[in-house]
Amino acid sequence: MVVNRHGIDATIYELEASATARHQGSVLDMHEESGQLALRKAGLFEAFRKIVIPSGDEMRLLDKSGTVRWQDSGNGTRPEVDRGALRDILLQSLPANCIHWGSKVTRVVKLEGGRHVYWLECPVTCPHC
């Protein structure tokens, strides 16, 4: 997302067969210095704010009887989001057809000048190959 936003045409080769091939799992906490910073650089911070789970960073420790022994109401600096909702934002921000689903990178070799050459295994049905 970040390189595309800066005018560099990039292609993503993704092993998974499609955007819906796998459930993305539960929630993710997004830290200011890493995940949130990346979203800011990708111009997606406002979209991210809309999917933040209110009080998602609140924590409670309960004993065996269910009595709350420790509680932290969170401070909003590392809010929780649903992984699927976050991935939707990221995928929607990309240009059409820049992801080659079901493409396995099998080998990467570093060249001079920061360039790389790579080998791919693509599905027979790959519309790009």
Ligand X SMILES: Cc1cc2nc3c(=O)[nH]c(=O)nc-3n(C[C@H](O)[C@H](O)[C@H](O)COP(=O)(O)OP(=O)(O)OC[C@H]3O[C@@H](n4cnc5c(N)ncnc54)[C@H](O)[C@@H]3O)c2cc1C
What is the residue whose two structure tokens read 């997004």?
Answer: 30
Distances (CA, A) of 30 to 6, 82, 117: 23, 10, 33
Distance between CA atoms of 108 and 92, rounded to whole angstroms? 28
Q: Does 91 bind ligand X (CB under 6 A)?
A: no
Which residue in 2, 4, 24, 35 binds ligand X (CB under 6 A)?
A: 35
Q: Which range of residues in 28-36, 62-70, 91-99, 107-115 is near ligand X by CB under 6 A?
A: 28-36
Collapsed DSSP state (helix, strand, coil) of residue 3: helix
Binding to ligand X (CB under 6 A) within 94-123 occurs at 104-105
> Closer CB to ligand X, residue 35 or residue 74?
35
Q: Does 14 bind ligand X (CB under 6 A)?
A: yes
